Structure 1
C-alpha cells in the first residue's frame, strides 16, 4: 500500500463569509486523505467564523487535521505567516479563500511533484472566472514554457509570463524550509506570492501540469483590487521585491543585479503611467536612485551613467559595475 504524503493547505481569510462556503465545498470534493487544513481568520468582522465552524466537522470527518487560527487583522502576509509557522506537511499549498479547487486537485498536484523529484515548486493551469458566473471561464491562466530554458527566477523579477494565483501552485516543504527557515514572509502591503516563489526559484526548478485543476475568482472587492492608486501599488510591490531579494539564497553580486533589474522594471511602469496622466510633462531619466532598507537605512545607490550602471554599497562604497 502506497503511503500518502501529508499536504498542508493554508488559507488566510478576511471577511469572507459571502464566498467562503464555495471554497470549502471545493475542498469537500477532494479525494486526498492526508491533509492538514490551516484556516487563518485575519480578524474578520462578518460571519466568517460561523461559516468555517459549520464546515469544520465535515472536513474532520474526511480524516483531515483542521487547525483554526484567529488573530487581529494584520493583513494577508501576516495571516499567511501565521500558518507557515505551524504547518507540518511534506507539501504546501496556500489558496485564497475565494478560489475553487476542482475534483482531484490535490492528488494530481502531489502526483506532479512525485514525478519531478528535483522540482521545488509545481504549477497547474487555471480557469479565470468572475463572481457573477464562476462556472463560465473567461480565459485560461498558465505559465507558458520555453523548452528547457525556464528562467523562472528572472521572469519573476520583471513579472513576465508568471502564473500568480496561489491556487495554481504546490511547494515541496523541504525545499521551502531550506530557503525560508524562519517560516515567515515580509508583512508588506503586496507581493505575498512573489515572496513564496522567488527564493525557491533561485534554488530549485519548477514543473508544470497541462491540466486545468482550479479556478481563480475575480472579485471587485478582492485583496488585489483594494488599492486604486496605481503608482502606490507599484511602490508597494517594489518594496516587497527588494526585501525578498535581500533574503534570498543569492550572492551579494547576484542580489545587486536582481535589485537593479527589478528597480528598472518598476521605474518603467511608473514612468509609463505618469506619462499617461501628464502627457505634456517632459520625461526625465533618473541618473541615480537610493534603495533604503526598512525605509530609512541607506543600502544601495544605483548610479546610471552613459555606458554603465554603478552600484554603491551604503551610498559610497563602489560595489558593482555593469556595462
Structure 2
C-alpha cells in the first residue's frame, strides 16, 4: 500500500482533562506517515504545556508535529489557522477530546488510494461518556440520492455524524477557497462537509473502523438545553448554513430557493421553541419573522393568539 502523508488538524480550548487521550490515539495509529497540526485556541489551563510535552513522543514516532497558538477565537477560527499548514494528500479534522480505532487512518487511506474518485470517507462512530461507556453506536448512513448528505446537513442534521471524515486535500481545496471557512459561533464541521456534499455527493463508508466521540458531561456544548438555549443554537446553525451556502458555487435560482427554505425552516423551529418558553415577546418576534417571510400557517396564528392575546392577570413572562 502507498503511504501518502495524512494531515490531522485539531483545534483545542482548555483541553487539559482529555487531550492526552487524543494524543495517545494518534500515537497508536497503525498508519505512521502523519502530520499533526495542533492549534491551541487561547487556552487558560495546561493545554499548551501538555501539548509541548508530547513533542518528543511524536518525534520518536516520525510524526510531523506542529503546535500553533492564537488568542481565543473559536473552533472554526483555530481550524482556519491550522489548515494553512496542511501538507498531506489527505486531511482529517478531529476534535481534541475524541479518539480513533488503531486501524482508522490505515483503512481509510487504503480505500481512498484504491479509488481516486472518492472525495471523502468515514466509518462507524461510538458516542461515549467520559468514563468510556458506550452511549450510542452510529453506522452507515441510509441514503438513496447523491444529494442526501447535503440536504440532511441543512434540514435533518440529526441524521448526520459530523466528525471523522478523511478528505482528499486536493478536492477540499477545490471547494473551500483559500482554506477559509466561516468562523461564526457554533462549530466548524458544517462548513467543511456542506461544500463537499454539494460537489461530491455521499462519502464512502468503511465498516471496520471506529471514531470515538466523547460527550464530556461538564462541557459547555453538552450542558442541559433549555428552549432559549435551543433557539440560540438554531440561530447560530442557520447563520452557519447561510454563510456556507453563499461560498458554494450553486446556481443563483437554486441558491435563492435554498436560502428562503432555510430561513423559513429555522424560523419555524425557533417559533416552536419560543412557544415552549411561554414568553410573549419571544413568540411575537418569531411570529413577525414568519409573517414577513409569508410563511405563517393557521397553527402559528392560533398559538400566537393563545400565548400573546391574554388578560393583564396572566402569569406569563414577557
> TM-score scaled to structure 2, two decimals?
0.84
Query: Quick check: 1:116–1:207 contact (8 Å CA) kept in 2?
Result: no
* CA drift at 1:305: 8.8
> C-alpha deviations, 1:186-225, integer Å up to 9, x for none?
1100141110001111111321122341210001343533
Equivalences, count: 289
Taking a change above 3 Å as real, the CA distance of residues 149 and 237 of structure 1, as seen in their structure-2 partners, is: closer
Taking a change above 3 Å as real, the CA distance of residues 211 and 57 of structure 1, as seen in their structure-2 partners, is: same
* CA drift at 1:124: 1.0
* CA drift at 1:114: 2.7
Taking a change above 3 Å as real, the CA distance of residues 263 and 90 of structure 1, as seen in their structure-2 partners, is: same
Counterpart in the other structure of 2:217: 220
Query: 1:262-301 counterparts in 2 under 5 A?
Result: 262-278=262-278, 284=287, 286-289=290-293
Q: C-alpha separation between the residues in 1 aligned to 2:58 and 2:159? A: 32
Q: C-alpha separation between the residues in 1 aligned to 2:156 and 2:60? A: 41
Counterpart in the other structure of 2:308: none
* CA drift at 1:169: 1.2
Q: C-alpha separation between the residues in 2 aligned to 1:12 and 1:189? A: 14
Taking a change above 3 Å as real, the CA distance of residues 305 and 161 of structure 1, as seen in their structure-2 partners, is: closer
What SS class does the counterpart of residue 43 from structure 2 fall into?
coil
Query: Quick check: 1:123–1:169 contact (8 Å CA) kept in 2?
Result: yes
* CA drift at 1:242: 0.5
Query: Quick check: 2:7–2:86 contact (8 Å CA) kept in 1?
Result: yes
Taking a change above 3 Å as real, the CA distance of residues 13 and 179 of structure 1, as seen in their structure-2 partners, is: same
> C-alpha deviations, 1:236-271, integer Å up to 9, x for none?
111111100001121111211221222222122212
| 2:165 is the counterpart of 1:169 | yes
Q: C-alpha separation between the residues in 1 aligned to 2:243 and 2:71? A: 24
Counterpart in the other structure of 1:50: 49
> C-alpha deviations, 1:4-37, integer Å up to 9, x for none?
1111000101111111111111111102121110
> C-alpha deviations, 1:250-299, integer Å up to 9, x for none?
1111211221222222122212212222299799472324xxxxxxxxxx
Cα RMSD (Å) of the superposition? 2.3
> TM-score scaled to structure 1, two decimals?
0.82
Taking a change above 3 Å as real, the CA distance of residues 52 and 191 of structure 1, as seen in their structure-2 partners, is: closer
Q: C-alpha separation between the residues in 1 aligned to 2:98 and 2:114? A: 26
Counterpart in the other structure of 1:114: 113
Q: C-alpha separation between the residues in 2 aligned to 1:104 and 1:54? A: 25
Q: C-alpha separation between the residues in 2 aligned to 1:98 and 1:259? A: 33
Counterpart in the other structure of 2:303: none
Structure number with the higher strand fraction is 1
Query: 1:83-162 counterparts in 2 under 5 A?
Result: 83-131=82-130, 133-134=131-132, 136-147=133-144, 151-160=148-157, 162=159
Q: C-alpha separation between the residues in 2 aligned to 1:46 and 1:4? A: 36
What SS class does the counterpart of residue 253 from structure 1 fall into?
helix
Query: Quick check: 1:227–1:233 contact (8 Å CA) kept in 2?
Result: no
What SS class does the counterpart of residue 254 from structure 1 fall into?
helix
> Where do 5+ consecutive residues of structure 2 fail to align?
298-318
Query: 1:173-252 counterparts in 2 under 5 A?
Result: 173-205=169-201, 206-222=203-219, 224-225=221-222, 229-252=229-252
Taking a change above 3 Å as real, the CA distance of residues 116 and 274 of structure 1, as seen in their structure-2 partners, is: farther
What SS class does the counterpart of residue 166 from structure 2 fall into?
strand
* CA drift at 1:112: 2.6
Q: C-alpha separation between the residues in 1 aligned to 2:145 and 2:220? A: 34
